[in-house]
């Protein structure tokens, strides 16, 4: 036994010694049956090395009080969470001491055991492996109060599941807004085929929007109650089509947790270290870009280089696209190949939001072997001209304005390398169809919703304590009365192996913002993207797509769109015009444009309770969330001793759905709050008596 323990310690020591330039990298041996990974969550602050504040200058870090900025006095940057180099420390949640957390590399069908220990003193947590199917292990999906109870401070929870499918994925917190506090990292599943051997090296890259003043909790509260700073109210921003972005103040964009802050007034820039990707001339590289941010789509490009886009959300494309830039919305992943065939030099890698009001941009460095070390590039962004326009993959709208000289290759033009199974595509019969409108209808306080339902989380783990969920909306596929809001646990029951078509819309009174929709437990087939009507000269939104009848108010631009259907009653199943039924795009996250819709299809062959939600954290936290209860009789039982949780009432109170009409915003109150207020009133009356 002692020998076995010594071997375990040795193996752990070897694993811990696998250091990258950004902390630990967990690489599982291809021959290992089980791969053990150990993660710790702790609160941390930026720009601190132990108890010493640092400052950035010329890409190096120095003690805050230094007067000698020579490289010999520089601080090891690998032990400092820099963010964008803003010298005022900001609270983050570090995973194994880093933000983002360590890259985890495993192999397809390998059993993975992730030992998650919550060492935060005041917050519960959970961890979701975004894009992993969790077949047979839905209770390991990591969504608090959906598939498990949150992991309390001091506790350890061991996720055990088979890695499936292969590709580019990521892990992130799924309690509150912790994903944007730093609880995230790349999760790469290598295929067994050895296809990755053709690359000299592969680079996982998490790219995100960043606020160096406020953490994501403060951002959410300011979005909810009022976005004020220095006594002034901030306005929302928008893209060139007029689509708005939720109130989320940022100053910069980060690559793998590193960036620089560019002051918009003085044009001064912090000198913090940047993420550097070393390449050798003549070699082929694969970049695995992961959009881990909170709100903004980001356009990524590499000066002087074309990008060959080969994969999205872990799944290969049938016809790779050679482009100048790629746009990623929160939750998405896009892989591209880069041929290092340019002159030996340093080149800027850029990521920019699509906001027209601000120039929020981030940088990283593509460093050719032989180029000067620790030297900023002097390259320029590729110039787009009328004679040689730039190609852009995954535009969230149809047109750029003419002066941009850019051509959109939208998601609906991409095709998956793997064809859709015929029983789900061309030969599908008895397709079960549901309309789901994701929007912000309402009044003074405008919660996000699905078919008018603001999601209410259960007080128990719905997957493992289903009989104790008392907050569920009444009836399967329940929808609020038209032009009213409801507050309950929104659940859609799916029967075993049925083919399900979801028409995910963004219409009516609550449109105005794009929604990157993510489904747990599946990658769905994207059969169609229905865009709104745009002005083909200015690119501006004109009117919402007329394919869907929102019903309700006669003016479909004002109705809540709780009871949508096809405008043409003859459109059913495969008869809907424009469906791609042979090689549709295969993804787990797809952007639903404001005023438009997306048609996706799955086969209900993965029993479990799966979350489906907008991956803009502010939208999800505010209620744009629902559950797919798939093949309930076939749900696998959780392991013995699986944690349970729940509320405690001295006098049991039944929780039920509540509703709100447009005129009653001021009187909305949750039932649990009603019980509490009634109890308080009784106490006051007793005092009076």
Asked if residue 226 belongs to a domain, the reply is: yes
Tell me the C-alpha distance between 595 and 244, whole Å: 12
User: How far is the C-alpha of 536 from the C-alpha of 327, rounded, in Å?
Assistant: 20
Phi-psi region of 546 (alpha: psi -120 to 50; beta: other; left: phi over 0): alpha
CA proximity to 479, closest of 559, 557, 546, 544: 559
Same domain, 277 and 210: yes
- According to DSSP, the residues that pair with 156 across neighbouring strands are 117
Q: How far apart are CA 357 and CA 560, in angstroms?
A: 29
User: Do 401 and 448 reside in the same domain of the chain?
Assistant: no
Verify that 482 and 557 share a domain, yes or no: yes
Do 181 and 209 lie in a common domain? no
Domain of 152, CATH number, reads 2.60.40.420
Counted residue by residue, the chain has a size of: 689
Whether residue 373 sits in one domain with residue 244:
yes
CA angle 216/217/218 to nearest 5° reads: 90
- The answer as to whether 640 is a domain residue is no
Indicate whether 107 and 133 sit together in one domain: yes
Three-state SS for 283-334 is: CEEEEEEEECCCCCCEEEEECCCCEEEEEECCEEEEEEEEECEEEECCCCEE
Considering the domain boundaries, does residue 365 fall inside one?
yes
Residue 347 pairs in a beta bridge with 366
- Cis omega before residue 165 (within 30°)? yes
Is residue 411 helix, strand or coil? helix
Can you read off the two tokens belonging to residue 408?
């959109």
β-strands 201-210, 325-328 pairing: unpaired
Q: How far apart are CA 438 and CA 433, in angstroms?
A: 16
Distance CA 562, CA 453 (A): 9
Other C-beta atoms lying within 10 Å of the C-beta of residue 8: 11
- What distance in Å separates the CA atoms of residue 164 and residue 132, rounded to the nearest whole number? 6
Strand partners, 495: none
Tokens of 331: 């939750």
Whether 66 maps to a domain, the answer reads no
- Residue finishing a domain among 137, 167, 194: 194
Instruction: State which H helix or E strand residue 684 sits in.
Output: helix 671-688
What does the alpha-carbon distance between residue 622 and residue 612 come to, in Å, rounded to a whole number?
14
**Of the residues 143, 174, 194, the one at which a domain ends:** 194
Q: Are residues 138 and 227 in the same domain?
A: no
Q: The tokens of 261 are what?
A: 């802050």
Can you list the residues of the chain whose pLDDT is less than 50?
Answer: 1-2, 4-23, 444, 655-689
Q: How many Cβ atoms from other residues are within 10 Å of residue 311's Cβ?
A: 20
389 and 243 share one domain: yes
Pairwise CA distance, residues 245 & 235, whole Å? 10
Whole-angstrom Cα distance, residue 368 to residue 375?
A: 12
H/E element holding 13? helix 2-16
Helix (H, G, I), strand (E, B) or coil at 410: coil
Strand pairing class (127-130; 48-49): unpaired
Last residue of a domain, one of 617, 634, 651: 634
Spatial contact of 135 and 302, defined as CB atoms under 8 Å apart: no
132: alpha, beta or left? (left if phi > 0; alpha if psi -120 to 50):
beta
pLDDT given for residue 578 in this prediction: 96
Yes or no: say if 163 and 132 are a contact pair by the CB < 8 Å rule. Answer: yes
pLDDT value of position 219: 80
Indicate whether 671 belongs to any domain. no
| Separation of CA 5 from chain center | 39
Predicted local distance difference test score (pLDDT) of residue 18: 41
Whether the bond into 602 is cis, omega within 30 of 0: no
Separation between Cα atoms, residue 523 and residue 316, nearest integer Å: 13
Q: Checking DSSP bridges between strand 298-302 and strand 346-353, what pairing results, if any?
A: antiparallel
Question: Same domain for 219 and 368?
Answer: yes
Residue 685 lies in a domain: no
Domain count, the chain: 3
pLDDT digits (tens, 9 = 90+) for 569-586: 999 989 999 999 999 999
153 shares its domain with 207 = no
Do both 383 and 460 map to the same domain? no
Three-class secondary structure of residue 389 per DSSP: coil
Three-state DSSP state, 221: helix
* 343 burial via Cβ count (<10 Å: 0-12, 13-18, 19+): exposed
What is the reported pLDDT for 446? Answer: 59
Backbone angles phi and psi of 72, in degrees to 5? -70, -20
Dihedral sign for Cα atoms in the order 147, 148, 149, 150:
negative
Number of Cβ within 10 Å of residue 256's Cβ equals 27
**602 DSSP β-pair partners:** 500
* The Cα angle at residue 7 between residues 4 and 10, in degrees rounded to 5: 155
Determine the Cα–Cα distance for residues 342 and 439; give it in Å rounded to an integer.
46
Which pLDDT belongs to residue 100?
96
| CA–CA separation, 90 and 345 (whole Å) | 34
Read off φ and ψ for residue 589, nearest 5 degrees: -140, 125
Residues in contact with 686: Cβ distance below 8 Å, sequence separation at least 6, in sequence order: none
State the residue range of the domain holding 158.
14-46+94-194
Task: Please tell me the pTM assigned to this model.
Answer: 0.92
3-state secondary structure of 351: strand
Q: Is 512 left (phi over 0), alpha (psi -120 to 50) or beta?
A: left
Q: What is the CA radius of gyration of the chain?
A: 25
User: Is 37 inside any structural domain?
Assistant: yes
Residue 656 lies in a domain: no
Say how far apart CA 556 and CA 122 lie, in whole Å: 46
Tens digit of each residue's pLDDT (9 = 90 or more) over 44-91: 999 999 999 999 999 999 999 998 898 888 999 888 999 999 999 999
Direct distance between the N- and C-terminal alpha carbons of the chain, in angstroms, rounded to an integer = 71
Sheet holding 127-130, edge to edge: 19-20, 23-27, 103-107, 184-190, 167-173, 127-130
Give residue for tokens 């002051």.
263
Answer yes or no: are the C-beta atoms of 75 and 66 closer than 8 Å. no
Q: How far apart are CA 461 and CA 448, in angstroms?
A: 23
341: left (phi over 0), alpha (psi -120 to 50) or beta: alpha
What token pair was written down for 312? 């999205």
626 and 513 fall within a common domain: yes
What's residue 688's pLDDT? Answer: 33
Contact (CB, 8 A) for 507 and 561: yes
């Amino acid at each position: 036994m002692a020998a076995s323990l010594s071997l375990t310690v040795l193996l752990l020591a070897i694993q811990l010694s696998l250091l990258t330039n950004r902390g630990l990298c967990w690489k599982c041996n291809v021959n290992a049956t089980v791969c053990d990974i150990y993660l710790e969550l702790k609160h941390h602050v930026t720009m601190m090395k132990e108890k010493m504040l640092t400052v950035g200058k010329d890409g190096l870090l120095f003690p805050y009080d230094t007067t000698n900025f020579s490289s010999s006095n520089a601080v090891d940057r690998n032990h400092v969470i820099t963010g964008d180099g803003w010298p005022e420390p900001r609270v983050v949640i570090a995973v194994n001491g880093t933000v983002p957390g360590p890259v985890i590399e495993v192999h397809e069908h390998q059993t993975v055991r992730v030992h998650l220990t919550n060492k935060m003193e005041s917050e519960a947590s959970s961890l979701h492996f975004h894009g992993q199917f969790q077949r047979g292990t839905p209770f390991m999906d990591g969504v608090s109060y959906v598939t498990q109870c949150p992991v309390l401070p001091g506790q350890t929870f061991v996720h055990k599941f088979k890695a499936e499918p292969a590709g580019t994925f990521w892990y992130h917190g799924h309690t509150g807004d912790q994903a944007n506090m730093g609880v995230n990292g790349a999760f790469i599943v290598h295929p067994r085929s050895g296809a990755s051997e053709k690359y000299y090296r592969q680079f996982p890259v998490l790219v995100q929007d960043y606020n160096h003043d406020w953490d994501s909790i403060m951002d959410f509260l300011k979005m909810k109650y009022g976005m004020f700073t220095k006594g002034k109210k901030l306005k929302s921003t928008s893209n060139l089509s007029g689509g708005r972005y939720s109130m989320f103040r940022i100053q910069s964009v980060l690559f793998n947790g590193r960036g620089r802050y560019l002051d918009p007034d003085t044009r001064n820039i912090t000198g913090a270290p940047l993420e550097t990707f070393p390449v050798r001339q003549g070699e082929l590289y694969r970049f695995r870009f992961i959009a881990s941010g909170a709100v903004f789509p980001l356009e990524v490009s590499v000066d002087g280089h074309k990008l060959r886009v080969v994969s999205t959300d872990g799944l290969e494309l049938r016809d790779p696209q050679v482009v100048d830039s790629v746009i990623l919305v929160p939750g998405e992943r896009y892989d591209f190949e880069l041929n290092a065939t340019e002159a030996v030099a340093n080149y800027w890698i850029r990521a920019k939001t699509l906001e027209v009001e601000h120039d929020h941009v981030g940088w990283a460095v593509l460093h050719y072997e032989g180029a000067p070390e620790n030297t900023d590039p002097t390259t320029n962004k590729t110039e787009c001209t009328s004679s040689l326009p730039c190609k852009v993959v995954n535009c969230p709208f149809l047109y750029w304005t003419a002066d941009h000289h850019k051509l959109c290759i939208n998601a609906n033009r991409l095709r998956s390398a793997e064809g859709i199974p015929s029983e789900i595509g061309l030969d599908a019969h008895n397709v079960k169809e549901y309309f789901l409108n994701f929007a912000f209808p309402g009044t003074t306080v405008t919660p996000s919703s699905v078919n008018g339902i603001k999601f209410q989380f259960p007080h128990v783990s719905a997957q493992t304590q289903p009989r104790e969920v008392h907050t569920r909306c009444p009836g399967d596929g329940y929808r609020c009365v038209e032009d009213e809001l409801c507050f309950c646990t929104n659940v859609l029951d799916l029967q075993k192996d049925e083919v399900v078509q979801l028409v995910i819309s963004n219409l009516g009174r609550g449109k105005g913002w794009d929604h990157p929709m993510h489904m747990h437990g599946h990658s769905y087939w994207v059969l169609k993207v229905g865009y709104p009507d745009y002005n083909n000269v200015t690119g501006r939104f004109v009117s919402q797509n007329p394919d869907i009848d929102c019903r309700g108010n006669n003016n479909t631009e004002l109705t809540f769109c709780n009871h949508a259907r096809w405008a043409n009653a003859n459109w059913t199943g495969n008869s809907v015009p424009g469906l791609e039924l042979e090689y549709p795009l295969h993804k787990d996250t797809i952007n639903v444009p404001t005023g438009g819709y997306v048609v996706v299809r799955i086969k209900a062959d993965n029993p479990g309770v799966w979350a489906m939600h907008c991956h803009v954290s502010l939208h999800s936290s505010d209620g744009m969330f629902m559950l797919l209860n798939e093949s309930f009789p076939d749900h696998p039982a959780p392991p013995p001793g699986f944690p349970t949780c729940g509320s405690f009432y001295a006098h049991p109170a039944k929780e039920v759905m509540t509703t709100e009409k447009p005129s009653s915003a001021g009187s909305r109150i949750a039932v649990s709050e009603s019980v509490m207020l009634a109890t308080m009133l009784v106490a006051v009356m007793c005092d009076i008596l």
